[in-house]
Amino acid sequence: MPPRDKKTIYLDHAATTPIHPQVLEAMLPFFKKSFGNPSSIYSLGKDARAAVEIARTKVAKLIGVDASEIFFTSGGTEADNLAIMGTALANKAKGSHIITSAIEHHAVLNTCINLEEKGFRVSYVPVDKYGMVDLLAVKKAITDETILITIMHANNEVGVVQPLREIGAIAKQRGIIFHTDAVQSVGKIPVDVDDLNVDLLSIAGHKIYGPKGIGALYIRNGLQIMPSFFGGHQESGMRPGTENVPAIVGLGAACEIALHDMKKQSASLKKLRDMLQKQIEKRIPNVNVNGHVKERLPHILSIAFEHCEAESIIANLDLKGIYASAGAACTAGSVKISHVLSGMNIPPDIAASTVRFSLGRSTTEKDILFTVDLLEEIIKRMRSTYPITEDGGLKSRCIITFSDSRELLSAEKLLSKKDVTFSLIALPLNLRQPDLCTTGIVCFWEDKDAVVDLLKKQTIKRRDAHRVDGYSQGIRAGVKRHIEKDFWAEKPGKQSKNSVPE
């Protein structure tokens, strides 16, 4: 990538977070002088063991449990696998039925699918249009064979916080083990396992400004689960293998900081998140907020920009130094929609235009305003090259590809000064090649010769020009609905059903 003319703005903290300076500082000694094996009986090993146990106590304190109930893993995925697989295998004599939701992280869903292949039965309960698990569906799904309920605390895509307390009470009343993937919620909102009636809880370090490759599983004392693999005595035999001491220390430090700063950080992030939403709704027409208006994490905003495919929005932002994530992935001729948005029964075209912004410690008001300024420009330009006409007809378009982003940015700068209708687009999968920039320029086919001539005159190198007569499955599904809504009419930003109150 070329040098940015603006500072980098990271708005994808739900994907991962930068390591906190104090966390890194706490870890460094264990890469150097304090490198001992925690199982060794001499002083170097004892120092490492002491550091591991101090970190264990810090993790336990964040969720209100005893340190003996915390077991370190390689991350959230392993913690989910250990909880679900370990509970199922340890309790198969009691039953073979598991309940989960349709919008879980793949670490949970794919583990459940694997258990189905082993003969277990899994019920995937639905969620409502806001992404909230249906409590009645949970009750109805329970049978005499049910041994485990696993429902995430907060969703990673739309931020909705699930009614764990009520689900946990249902599980407790029926004597069913209750697990939650709390990777997104821990450190962002208060989490107390007794208050939530939880028996098993998964944590990941890199979501809370800790290192990658470290996580933890809370296992309520007295609960029997089967280890995923076997070896030495580490982690009481639950997770054998020499401990990753630097990462464990880092996780402990991150949990300590999160607990100390949570109240202040949560309030700050909510204020910024609401500001971002209000500014977008005020300045950009036809947007839709996904998720629950109240029961959501303070830092996540999932919002759809109608008539704009999310991956192209992300590509446009990326070229300006802003990082966010999409609710869909483009493939050849179609859009792969997120299972979370599909599970919420969000129309395909809205899901295909969904962007997730997730704020963090470094986010400022200036970042929010700068991002909205760019978004307003990007969305207006993208909608100008939308291939569907007002009467529902289809206009052919041209996608121009480039070898690198420098040529692309030069082309964008040039065309922006000319009377040309164009926008930047994430290349469909069938046009992507290892030696091509994954973003191109799209214009109407009738303007192709004029655009190519402008590039030639300025000696801007392009690779190819492709005629595109179709449009994605997500857009196709929404054409009729958009025409009926008179999308093309100029009007102020539409207030979504989930608008933040003034």
Confidence (pLDDT) at 447: 93
Q: What is the pLDDT of residues 175-230, one digit of tens each?
A: 999 999 999 999 999 999 999 999 999 999 999 999 999 999 999 999 999 988 88
Give the CA distances from residue 435 to residues 35, 321, 429, 453, 470, in Å, rounded to whole numbers and listed in that order. 43, 22, 14, 23, 25
Q: What is the pLDDT of residues 356-393, one digit of tens each?
A: 999 999 999 999 999 999 999 999 999 999 887 777 67
Q: Percent of the chain at pLDDT above 90?
A: 74
How far is Cα of residue 300 from the mean position of the Cα atoms in its chain?
9
- Tell me which residue of 144, 98, 146, 140 sits closest to 118, measured CA to CA: 98
d(CA 98, CA 179): 11
d(CA 376, CA 368): 12
Label residue 329 by pLDDT band (50, 70, 90): low
pLDDT of 477 strictly over 80: no
On whether residue 211 sits in a domain, the answer given is yes
What is the domain range of residue 138?
21-259
Confidence (pLDDT) at 327: 72
d(CA 178, CA 172): 8
pLDDT of 115 strictly over 90: yes
pLDDT of 475 strictly over 60: no
Q: Give the residue carrying structure tokens 């909102």.
A: 189
Look up 443 and say whether it is catalytic: no
From 255, 308, 330, 443, active-site residue: 330
- Tell me which residue of 309, 296, 301 sits closest to 276, measured CA to CA: 301
Label residue 330 by pLDDT band (50, 70, 90): very low
d(CA 322, CA 120): 44
On whether residue 229 sits in a domain, the answer given is yes
Q: What are phi and psi of 86, to 5 degrees?
A: -65, -40
- Tell me which residue of 326, 401, 383, 390 sits closest to 357, measured CA to CA: 326
On whether residue 372 sits in a domain, the answer given is no
pLDDT of 23 strictly over 60: yes
d(CA 79, CA 205): 12
On whether residue 470 sits in a domain, the answer given is no
| Residue 265 in tokens | 């950080």
Q: Within 118-191, where are the H helices?
A: 135-141, 164-173
On whether residue 309 sits in a domain, the answer given is no
Confidence (pLDDT) at 431: 80
pLDDT of 480 strictly over 60: no
Confidence (pLDDT) at 29: 96
On whether residue 284 sits in a domain, the answer given is no
Confidence (pLDDT) at 109: 96
Length of the chain, in residues:
502
pLDDT of 500 strictly over 50: no
On whether residue 379 sits in a domain, the answer given is no
| Residue 143 in tokens | 């049978």
- Give the angle 54-255-214 at the CA atoms, nearest 5°: 80
pLDDT of 482 strictly over 50: no
Confidence (pLDDT) at 502: 36
Query: 209 CB contacts (<8 Å, ≥6 apart)?
Result: 17, 18, 19, 20, 23, 254, 257, 258, 361
SS3 329: strand
Label residue 335 by pLDDT band (50, 70, 90): low
On whether residue 228 sits in a domain, the answer given is yes
Q: What is the pLDDT of residues 402-429, one digit of tens each?
A: 988 899 999 999 999 998 899 999 887 7
d(CA 16, CA 11): 10
Label residue 312 by pLDDT band (50, 70, 90): very high
pTM across the whole model: 0.89
Label residue 471 by pLDDT band (50, 70, 90): low
User: Strand (E) positions, 24-145?
Assistant: 70-73, 97-101, 121-125
Confidence (pLDDT) at 435: 78
pLDDT of 168 strictly over 80: yes
Confidence (pLDDT) at 19: 97
> On the CB side of 14, how many CA atoms lie within 13 Å of its CA?
27
Average pLDDT over residues 443-448: 92
Total number of domains in the chain: 1
pLDDT of 4 strictly over 50: no
Label residue 328 by pLDDT band (50, 70, 90): low
Confidence (pLDDT) at 241: 84
**Are the C-beta atoms of 437 and 460 separated by less than 8 Å?**
no
**Are the C-beta atoms of 176 and 151 separated by less than 8 Å?**
no
d(CA 109, CA 95): 19
Label residue 470 by pLDDT band (50, 70, 90): low
**Are the C-beta atoms of 410 and 379 separated by less than 8 Å?**
no
CATH number at residue 160: 3.40.640.10
Q: Percent of the chain at pLDDT above 70?
A: 90
pLDDT of 99 strictly over 60: yes
d(CA 301, CA 297): 9
